[in-house]
A and B are shown apart, each in its own frame.
Chain A
């Protein structure tokens, strides 16, 4: 098994607004990695390169040692994405959302989803569109846990959440890291939150990423 969960090798790319310049890093399983940077630094673009079915970059992105290009389905089975941009049915309950969307996953554990939702104190009968932002983020995390994600991507997931929700969310993530061989990559512009929760931090500026440093 490859020692690295995710590797970027000289990844560069241009979009209308952002550009990434020669980004290289490797993430080991079992840690929370954070990329900090101002709005527009290219953090979300970097995450989109992992998530997009189209290969929008030059260089190579490898997941567990294999290039992700052309392996979107396989990759998304192993990636949990938690973000405001993530889509769930607003008019469906948390339970119905999981029932409908779980059809695409190889190993979605509905029982684990129910248990996680219960631990997070969110009712399965709660309609997604009527949930608070914190509840939506927690539900997405429960969904990612249920389909046995090995790489968890948090895109400004905690922005605008109250401190109680943040603490609960990171407690859940720490619990996930302790139980499973998961890697967490979060992007945020909140340095305080990164200081408290991340194991390794890298700063992104103008499309360039500094190396990950241990967060002491």
Chain B
């Protein structure tokens, strides 16, 4: 039975990085995806800046919607590392499928994608945390555990789980695997 061990192999990570560096034609729709990523993360920030006290009974729903848009944004951002399409053939192929007959491990591709999203995710989390804490302390003089810990944790853990487990970018592209 195949199991993910999630142990990074630095040599393979360098090979994957070099591969994406050399294939500069990679994924023609990535500009669109970058804009979508910015749009989704931007929308999510409207929800993430707001502390729980402001939302009252709608807090769970608002946090959920914010996280949904945020994860969509992260997945769009990472699509160039998970999905490939040629200009002449719009049907996308998963990168892991594309490289299946080469000396590349799917686990290492997942780790590579996770590493790529981790830095932007941490930055977005810190920015939203700063504003949320500032608003919560400035206006309400109170900081909830949800605001200070659970939401930041979700903003890092959820995208990592998404990118590490399934080709969600592929689902967003609406294409089939070969």
Contacts and interface: CB of A to CB of B under 8 A. Distances in A.
Contact of B88 (A55, A72, A90, A103): A90
B100 A101 contact: no
Contacts of B145: none
Size class of the B contact interface (CB-based, 8 Å): 20 to 34
Interface in B13-29: 15, 18-19, 22-23, 25
Given A55-B2, A90-B86, A103-B22, A72 B105 contact: yes
Contacts, number: 62
A188 B77 CA distance: 43
B22 A90 contact: no
Contacts of A53: 2, 100, 105-106
A65 interface: no
Contact of A72 (B22, B86, B93, B103): B103
A74 B93 CA distance: 24
A190 B172 CA distance: 42
14 contacts: A51-B100, A52-B100, A53-B106, A72-B103, A72-B105, A75-B103, A76-B103, A86-B101, A87-B98, A90-B88, A92-B25, A100-B23, A104-B104, A105-B102
Closest 7 CB pairs of A and B: A76-B103, A54-B2, A73-B103, A103-B18, A77-B103, A100-B22, A81-B101
Given A55-B1, A91-B25, 5 more contacts: A53-B105, A77-B103, A89-B25, A91-B86, A105-B102
